[in-house]
């Protein structure tokens, strides 16, 4: 049985869980600028929690392709303020902080966050593994090449599935050697992958169970969906639901999404097929 220890709460992932995205950034690809004030953050948090989110993922730094850098101080301000205001209103919430900088991870966990979600898998901050080990929180380790600003040009793979699997396996070994116990792997759909490569990863997602850690699928409203359907991120909910269902059937244990209600419905229906009822 795969479980996560989040601040003393043991989360059973035998039934997949949903992670709602709260971006406190002005420039995220889908919801940039929509959840920036305390009122808007709390409104979004309340909606996602009421719809069945197990986790909320707070990000203060946009990682969309070509995203501009911001200072550590600005990211800390955005992320810590969001974590503190959510926990003040909803103190039992399990918050993940979306950052690749160890200082932001440290400050937000000190403010009450329960998980570190690192899109770089430790490649952009040499101290990240050591800090996460000291913080004693679960670590989401994603595959990416380069930085958000450069990754779109780094898509030269001979076999994307094999290379991403190998890279994640090596990073998981390093993270474990650093003393991190709870690790979640994310193949990084769209991060230094073309649309075709992202679909190849999804098609082969069951192979990632060989990593022996829970798999997170972050597909929500991404370009692999809306470019294929010749639409926009705003009109990509139906496509997101379709691919989230495929990800669940191929073994994903956490869905990271903008739309919690629809993702929870995917998990519930998948559970009925597999004889496992959804539990938050």
DSSP element (H, E) containing 267: helix 260-274
Residue 182: inside a domain: yes
Domain count, the chain: 1
Residue 12: inside a domain: yes
Positions marked catalytic: 222, 256
**Residue 273 banded pLDDT, cuts 50, 70, 90:** confident
Reported residue count of the chain is 280
| Tokens at 235, concatenated | 């009109």
pLDDT at residue 257 greater than cutoff 70: yes
* Sole residue written with tokens 């440290």: 106
Q: Which domain holds residue 191?
A: 3-274
* pTM for this predicted structure: 0.93
Secondary structure tally for the chain: helices H, strands E: 9, 10
pLDDT of residue 203: 98
Interval 19-45: pLDDT, tens: 999 988 764 444 444 556 888 899 999
- Mean model confidence pLDDT for the chain: 92
Interval 74-95: pLDDT, tens: 899 989 999 999 999 999 999 9
Residue 207: inside a domain: yes
Residue 279: inside a domain: no
**Residue 1 banded pLDDT, cuts 50, 70, 90:** low
Residue 280: inside a domain: no
In CATH, what number is assigned to the domain containing residue 223?
3.20.20.20
Alpha-carbon span 279 to 137, nearest angstrom? 22
Taking CA atoms, 223 is separated from 30, 149, 178, 250, in Å, by 10, 16, 35, 21
Q: What phi and psi values does residue 216 have, to the nearest 5 degrees? A: -105, 135
């Amino acid at each position: 049985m795969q479980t996560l220890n989040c601040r003393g709460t043991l989360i059973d992932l035998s039934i997949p869980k949903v992670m709602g995205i709260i971006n406190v950034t002005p420039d995220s690809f889908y919801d940039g600028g929509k959840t920036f004030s305390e009122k808007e953050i709390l409104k979004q948090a309340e909606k996602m929690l009421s719809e069945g989110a197990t986790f909320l993922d707070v990000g203060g730094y946009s990682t969309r392709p070509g995203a501009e850098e911001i200072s550590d101080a600005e990211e800390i301000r955005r992320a810590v303020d969001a974590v503190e205001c959510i926990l003040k209103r909803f103190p039992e919430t399990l918050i993940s902080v979306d950052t690749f900088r160890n200082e932001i991870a440290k400050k937000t966990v000190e403010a009450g966050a329960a998980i570190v979600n690192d899109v770089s898998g430790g490649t952009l901050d040499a101290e990240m593994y050591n800090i996460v080990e000291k913080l004693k929180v679960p670590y989401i380790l994603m595959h990416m090449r380069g930085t958000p600003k450069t990754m779109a040009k780094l898509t030269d793979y001979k076999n994307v599935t094999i290379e991403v699997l190998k890279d994640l396996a090596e990073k998981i070994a390093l993270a474990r050697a650093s003393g991190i116990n709870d690790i979640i792997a994310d193949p990084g759909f769209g991060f230094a992958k073309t649309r075709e490569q992202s679909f190849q990863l999804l098609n082969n997602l069951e192979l990632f169970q060989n990593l022996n850690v829970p798999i997170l699928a972050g597909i929500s409203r991404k370009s692999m969906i809306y470019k294929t359907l010749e639409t926009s991120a705003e009109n990509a909910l139906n496509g997101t639901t379709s691919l989230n269902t495929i990800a669940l059937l191929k073994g994903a244990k956490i869905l990271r999404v903008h739309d919690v209600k629809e993702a929870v419905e995917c998990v519930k229906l998948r559970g009925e097929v597999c004889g496992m009822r959804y539990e938050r």
